[in-house]
Amino acid sequence: MEVCEMKEIARRVRYQVLEMIVSAGKGHIGGSFSCTDILIALYHGGILRFDVKNPKWSGRDRFIFSKGHSTEALYAVLANLGFFPVSELCTYGKGGSILGGHADNKVPGIEVSTGSLGHGLGIAAGLALAAKLDKKDYLTLALLGDGECYEGSIWEAAMFAAHHRLENLVAIVDRNGQITLDYTEECNRFEPFDDKWRAFGWDVRVVDGHSFEALLEAFMDVRARNAQRPLMIIAKTVKGKGVSFMEGELYWHHNVPKGDKLDTARSELALNG
Amino acid sequence: MAKPDLTTGSVTSAPALDMRDACFEELCQIATADRNVVVMTDDMGAFSLEKFEKDLAPQYFNMGIAEQNIVSVAAGLALGGKRPFIYGISTFVTMRCYEQIRVDLCCMNLPVTIIGSGAGYTYGSDGPTHHATEDVAIMRALPEMTIFNPSDPVLTAAMVRMAYKNSGPAYIRIEKGPLPCLYAEQHDFQRGFEVLRPGRDVVIVATGVMVHSALQVAEELSNHSLDAGVVDLYRIKPIDEGALSSSLGQAKRLITIEENSIIGGIGSLVAEIMAGRSRPVPLKRIALPDRFCCEYGNREWLHAYQGLDVKSLAKTILEWK
């Protein structure tokens, strides 16, 4: 798929995320927007192996969406691909919907229930180990938020994955540099973040998380790496990406735009891309 | 120690076997037949686990002291088709990683079994960090969780096999040392509890090691013309409420004895079940008080200190008007 097409899909996904969150009156818009381009690159860039008609296909790659609070973006991506009807997005957060505020593995295409942070990397490591033990060739990929890297369990899993030489495990961190109330470097410093992962025994790539060219280049060889180490891709992103007044602003972690702000957001997502 | 005849309630002597041996020998057999079974430990050993490690090395993982990661990795392995058994000291493999158990195992109803060594005061003088006295309460609160608390080696092996056949998460609390056999090899454990001894005047409900104490207490009470029955509640969750309520409802008075906190253990469980009956049965819950035990001594000493030794238990029951 051409990059311009991916940009158009990303715009549509962000627009759908905005409408879902506005309609439900709640949601995590900032983190959904920061990880949207990563999701599009994985699902539309020929990186992930999946079968829309058979979501449980045994040969599929296992994609663990560890930052489960940004699930609105994943819902939109999965619906657009046909895992479930796009019309289902209108039910998000409403009575009886299958789509709640955090990722649920009962939703077609969602591998693991998440929502509590710091769990996804360990689960992904277990899946990658199971594949190695059974000599299966599926990849396990996990998308983490940077904020959840404050959890000790992430580093327990990081050590475990490197020790067991899980080269079939790829983790991506949506490095938007923000948590709910603060900027990561002002709360508890992560930097040098890449060196931390290298010190734990991972191969590390740092890329622009909003450049499809950079993301696809980083993902290109994930199935054929000549390494015995898990791979960490630190995707540098902007929280709230796509709506000018939200970008980099703490307020838009989980607030819902109204009035003029909503008009502006709608108009920017309709016109951009 | 003594073995009751399940039909007559009479008692014969029985050999004592190590509960961990019973557990891991059974697990070894299961894992030999099913190579998807894996054992994960948080650096906790056991003599009989060494055999597993030696004979089934690719299925054995010392995960290091990282319980949160053990549970999440186990969830991933289960999603990948494996049947993980986690082994460690009860307090650590339930409490340090409680949220991982709740979200990764219970929310997704994955077939992962946690084997906790050291129920109650097993670790005696090691202090409150090692006393598993609230684990029943917290694990009972989790949807999908099955909890086994076996009282003898036969039951321990059977619980391992039942957990293996279970489609969701399970927690088995096992004793560290030897206990005499109460059950025959082919006993049917589906019901979740067993009336080990019938009693006209009072029925004692116990679990785990305290079942043996309860049997001795019943003997002691018979010397005081009090006919006491004993029920072994070896599956704490799920409970066959109808069967248990019906069985306990026959009693004139009920006693629960446990080596757990008074909050949330089997005393609470029996109270919850019996509260729904139209005919009330007087109930006395004997358990540990709602405080940490920072006095040090072996398990026997701690039981005496907390009034859980046979003599104190019999006295408490006799004095209950």
Domain range annotation of chain A: 3-271
Q: Which of B69, B92, B102 to mutate to test the interface with A (most CBs of A within 10 A)?
A: B69
Please, which pLDDT band fits residue B11 given cuts at 50, 70 and 90? very low
Q: pLDDT averaged over chain A?
A: 96
Residue B80: which of A115, A119, A126 has the nearest Cβ? A126
pLDDT, tens digit, 9 for 90 and up, residues A55-113: 999 999 999 999 999 999 999 999 999 999 999 999 999 999 999 999 999 999 999 99
Task: Find the chain B residues whose C-beta atoms sit closer than 8 A to any C-beta of A.
Answer: 58, 63-64, 66, 68-69, 71-82, 99-100, 103-104, 107-108
> For A142-185, what is each residue's pLDDT tens digit?
999 999 999 999 999 999 999 999 999 999 999 999 999 999 99
> What is the mean pLDDT of the segment spanning A223-237?
95
pLDDT reported for residue A1: 87
pLDDT band at B7 (very low <50, low <70, confident <90, very high): very low
| Beta-carbon separation of B73 and A113 below 8 A | no
d(CA A63, CA B155): 40
pLDDT in tens, B55-76: 999 999 999 999 999 999 999 9
Subunit contact B80:A131, Cβ cutoff 8 A: yes
Chain B residue nearest residue A123, CA to CA: B76
pLDDT for the residue numbered B4: 57
Q: A148: distance to nearest CA of chain B, Å?
A: 14
Is the pLDDT assigned to residue B1 strictly greater than 70? Answer: no
**Nearest chain A CA: its distance from B163 CA (Å):** 20
Q: How confident is the model at residue B10 (pLDDT cuts 50, 70, 90)?
A: very low
- d(CA A26, CA A255) in angstroms, rounded, equals 7
Crossing angle between the packed helical segments A3-24 and A259-271, to the nearest 10 degrees: 160
Whether B104 sits inside 8 A of A153 (CB atoms) is: no
Nearest by CB: A127 against B69, B80, B108: B80
Query: Would you give the DSSP letter of residue A107?
Result: S
Contact A130 B104 (CB under 8 A): no
Interchain proximity B81–A134, CB inside 8 Å: yes
Give me the mean pLDDT over the B258-262 stretch. 97
**Which pLDDT belongs to residue B255?**
98
Q: Binning pLDDT at 50, 70 and 90, where does residue B5 land?
A: low
3-state secondary structure chain B: CEEECCCCCCEEECCEEEHHHHHHHHHHHHHHHCCCEEEEECCCCCHHHHHHHHHCHHHEEECCCCHHHHHHHHHHHHHCCCEEEEEEEHHHHHHCCHHHHHHHHHHCCCCCEEEEECCECCCHHHCCCCCECCHHHHHHCCCCCEEECCCCHHHHHHHHHHHHHCCCCEEEEECCCEEECCCCCCCCCCCCEEEEECCCCEEEEECCCHHHHHHHHHHHHHCCCCCEEEEEECEEECCCHHHHHHHHCCCCCEEEEEEEECCCCHHHHHHHHHCCCCCCCCEEEEEECCCCCCCCCCHHHHHHHHCCCHHHHHHHHHHCC
pLDDT at res. B47: 86
Backbone angles phi, psi at B261, to 5 degrees: -60, 150
Q: Is the pLDDT of residue B279 over 90?
A: no
What is the average pLDDT across B188-211? 97
Cα of A144 to nearest chain B Cα, Å: 15
Distances B239 to A199, A267, B164, B200, B272 between C-alpha atoms, Å: 49, 58, 19, 24, 11
Residue B318 predicted with pLDDT over 80: yes
Can you give the pLDDT at residue B286?
98
> In this model, does residue B244 exceed pLDDT 50?
yes
Burial of A251 (0-12, 13-18, 19+ CB in 10 A): exposed
CATH topology assigned to domain A3-271: Rossmann fold (3.40.50)
Delineate the domains of chain B, giving CATH numbers in brackets: 2-13+186-318 (3.40.50.920), 16-180 (3.40.50.970)
How many residues are recorded in chain B?
A: 321
Residue B8's pLDDT is what?
A: 43
Query: Mean pLDDT over all residues of chain B?
Result: 94
The dihedral through the CA atoms of B281, B284, B287, B288 has a sign that is: positive
Q: Cβ contact (<8 Å) for B77 and A129?
A: yes
The answer to whether the beta carbons of residues B207 and B287 sit under 8 Å apart is: no
Average pLDDT of the segment spanning A244-272: 93
pLDDT at A230: 98
Using a CB-CB cut-off of 8 Å, the residues of chain B touching A133 are 58, 82
**Which residues from chain A sit within 8 angstroms of residue B72, using beta carbons?**
119, 121-123, 125-126, 153, 157
Q: What is the mean pLDDT of residues A123-140?
A: 98
Length of chain A: 273
What average pLDDT does range B241-253 have in this prediction?
93
Tokens of B291: 């405080």
A271 has a pLDDT exceeding 70? no
d(CA B184, CA B155): 9
Residue B321: pLDDT band (50, 70, 90) is: confident
ipTM for this prediction:
0.96
* Mean pLDDT calculated for residue range B245-265: 96
Tell whether the model's pLDDT for residue B3 goes beyond 80.
no
Mean pLDDT of A254-268: 96
* pLDDT one-digit tens code per residue, B132-184: 999 999 999 999 999 999 999 999 999 999 999 999 999 999 988 899 999 99
